[in-house]
Structure 1
C-alpha cells in the first residue's frame, strides 16, 4: 500500500512504500527551512536539487546535491534548507 504524507503546510510531500529492503519515502520539498525528527535510522538521498543540512551534534551546515546522501540516527532532530524544489529518497532502517 502506498501512503501519502504532507508536512509544513503542504510544503513537503512524500509517498511512502515498503519493499523487501524495508520502508522508504519519495518526496519533494518546496523552498524553505525545516526541522525534522527521526524515529528510525534514515538515509536521505537527494534525487534532484540540493539540501543544506545541519546534522545532529554538528555546528556546521553541509550541502548535498543530486546523487549525494547523508544519514541520521534514530531519535534525532536535524535542520534542512532548500532554495529550489528538491526531491529525495528517504530509506528507513
Structure 2
C-alpha cells in the first residue's frame, strides 16, 4: 500500500455523477495538490482545467483520450497524462481507484 505522508486532507469530498465518482483533495506543504478518487462502474466524461497525470491505483479503466476514437485500457500501476482544457472519457465494469496529480 502506498502512503502519502505529511499532508492535509479536505474533509469534504468532491462528488460527481450522482455519487458514482468521489474524490478527496490532498494538499502538500509545497502548495501542490493531488486527488484520490473512487469510481463506481459506469461511463463518465470529464474535463480538465489544468494538466493532469492520472494514475490507476486499483482496478482497470478504459479511457478515450482527447481526440481519440478508440479506447485504451489502463490497469492498476499504469498512468496517462492529460493536457489542460481537454475532455476525456472513462469507463469501468468494477470499482476502480485513481490518484490525480496536477501539472
Task: Bin the TM-score by the shorter chain.
Answer: over 0.9
TM normalised by structure 1 equals 0.95
Pairing partner for 2:70 from 60, 82, 85: 60
Between Structure 1 and Structure 2, the one with more strand by share is 1
CA RMSD across the alignment: 1.1
Q: CA deviation at 1:21?
A: 6.9
- Looking at structure 2, the residues matched to 21 and 52 of structure 1 have their Cα atoms a distance apart, in angstroms, of 31
1:36-75 per-residue CA deviation (whole Å, 9 max, x = no partner) reads 0000101000000000000001112100000000011000
Q: CA deviation at 1:32?
A: 0.2
Q: Which residue of 1 aligns with 2:26?
A: 17
Residue segments in structure 1 that go unaligned for 5+ positions in a row: none
Residue segments in structure 2 that go unaligned for 5+ positions in a row: 1-7
Number of aligned positions between the proteins: 93
Pairing partner for 1:41 from 21, 46, 51: 51
Structure label with greater radius of gyration: 2
Which protein has greater RCO, CA pairs closer than 8 Å, 6+ apart?
A: 1
Pairing partner for 2:89 from 76, 79, 82: 79
